[in-house]
Amino acid sequence: MSSPDGSGPSLDLALDRRQRALQDRAAELGRTISAEPRGAARSGLDRAAWTRCAAIGLTGLVIDVEHGGQGLGALDAVLCLEAFGATCADGGLAFALGAQLFSVAAPLQRFGTPAQHADHLVGLCSGATIGAHALTEPGSGSDAFALATTATPTADGWRLSGSKTFCTNAPEADVLLVFATMDRARGWSAVQALLVPADAPGVTVAPAIRTAGLPGAPIGEVFLDDVAVPATALLGPRGGGLAVFDHSMGWERGCILAPAVGALAAGAARLRELGAPASIVGAAEVRARIASLMLRRMAWARDQGQRVDRLASMVKLQVAQGWQVTADAVLAAEGPGAQLADAAACSARLDAVASRIYSGTDEIQRDLLGHQLGLR
């Protein structure tokens, strides 16, 4: 395993060489994807690019080798995603990869049965299957567990009814990780996590919502109309949805912005190329370095078995805010042409703004940090 700053010697040199080779392949793939035109339709998931990401292992970085993954720890995984984000202009693709890996595949590995692993996890790693995390609802706001979607027990499983929104990858998904409640009055103790095929009778997935940033990440609504799922669809213990959610958010909140850390470094380099004032370039370099060190410190702590809730919120807040500042600086340095809707600098700036909203807004991160410090 690499050291927290990514530069130290590894105790397992073979694993270290393999990880570094994967990191190099990720950076090269990012450059290749960026050089290829997306055509007139810039929105939607680039399935060909997704397949190539899966082929080099990006869809299974933290998943065990026995399930088709790479078996990496958090630190080595974020180093790969950071390298990919530094060279890949499709921020939506990088976000979609992280959303599946951290909020679907990781909890599935932790809580899934051998049968669920065989049915879903192998496909998620190979790229044959796409997964979506379905928690947010139109009326839930920032209270993630104010769920209206119900899971009614039946003789042989569950009946699901309700709707979800802002589900990353849903328009392309094969399997949905759905959170529903058996009894709203019981709060989080009644919440279930269930694996639902996207083509199951009663499931309707709406076309992708048009978003200002991350156009390469398909985000959509899911409608569940008395959907019957077997008892084997339950992920984790009965009423254990909170544990599944906490596990997925523990991964996602801290790691999903790893590609953005790479984008911060790329933004600083771009400012140097454009001849921006030394003070602006220097500030961008500082933001990039701080973001990288914080990300790596958090991932290293996770690999040591430490709780990283506070660090994850700090990383999410610091990286998102720093990315927007750097993206704004690049946009200004590029000149008038950067204002065009399809200009790279304009797209990157919108992606950066979006990063301050998904996986918990800036305000949510501040609230979480306050609670973690014992404040109310």
- List, in order, residues 6 or more apart from 349 with CB less than 8 Å away: 324, 327, 328, 330, 331
Whether 36 sits among the annotated catalytic residues: the reply is: no
User: H helices of 196-341, where?
Assistant: 241-255, 258-273, 278-303, 309-334
Q: Residues 261, 292: contact at Cβ < 8 Å?
A: yes
In single-letter form, the type of residue at position 252 comes to: E
Q: Residues 126, 68: contact at Cβ < 8 Å?
A: yes
Q: Shortest CA distance to 323 belongs to which of 106, 91, 111, 157?
A: 91
Beta bridge partners of 223: 163, 204
Q: Which entry of 82, 137, 172, 252 is annotated as an active-site residue?
A: 252
Question: Which DSSP string do the residues of 69-83 spell out, in sequence order?
Answer: S----HHHHHHHHHH
Beta bridge partners of 220: 167
**What is the set of active-site residues?**
252
